[in-house]
């Protein structure tokens, strides 16, 4: 039976995510690169980019760092879940400090011999309404 949110892996994942968030806000591409799984199978869907592989993610991070890094944000909701000892997810909602726009980020993490690493990520800005003009949940 799969054990959800065992204390030790949950704490480790939380620390890895805190390290990621600090590196993102401090414009530290080297740490961000380290925290993604070094694999051609790693992917990141961003707000305006689709990155397939650790190499593409690193090239993006280096370019973004040269432009000042990620916009400052404040996390408004965070859900961490571990599945067993080696797999977990981190999902956040956030506000961009300068604009007040809301965003979402989902990350899938895997515990490797080097530590917890992001294997897949998706970042998006929340829309006020969907294509039907409603912000209510769909049935």
- Predicted pLDDT of residue 134: 55
- Residue 9 pLDDT more than 70? yes
- Predicted pLDDT of residue 131: 65
What would the two tokens of residue 100 be?
Answer: 């007040």
How does residue 100 score in pLDDT terms, banded at 50, 70 and 90? Answer: very high
C-alpha distance across the termini of the chain, in Å = 31
CA distances from 24 to 38, 72, 116, 129 (A): 18, 9, 16, 28
What is the residue extent of each domain of the chain?
7-125
Q: Count CB atoms within 10 A of the CB of residue 130.
A: 11
Question: In CATH terms, is domain 7-125 a member of 3.10.450.50?
Answer: yes
- Predicted pLDDT of residue 63: 97
Q: Count CB atoms within 10 A of the CB of residue 9.
A: 21
Q: Are 105 and 33 in contact (CB under 8 A)?
A: no
pTM for this prediction: 0.90
């Amino acid at each position: 039976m799969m054990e959800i949110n065992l204390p030790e892996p949950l704490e480790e994942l939380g620390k890895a995510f805190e390290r990621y968030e600090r590196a993102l806000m401090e414009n530290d591409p080297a740490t961000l690169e380290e925290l993604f799984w070094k694999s051609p199978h790693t992917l990141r869907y961003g707000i305006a980019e689709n990155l397939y592989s650790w190499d593409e993610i690193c090239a993006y991070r280096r370019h973004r760092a040269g432009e000042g890094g990620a916009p400052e944000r404040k996390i408004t909701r965070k859900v961490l879940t571990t599945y067993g000892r080696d797999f977990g997810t981190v999902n956040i909602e956030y506000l961009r400090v300068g604009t007040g726009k809301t965003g979402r980020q989902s990350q899938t993490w895997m515990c490797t011999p080097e530590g917890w690493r992001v294997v897949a990520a998706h970042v998006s800005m929340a829309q006020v309404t969907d294509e039907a003009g409603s912000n209510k949940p769909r049935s």
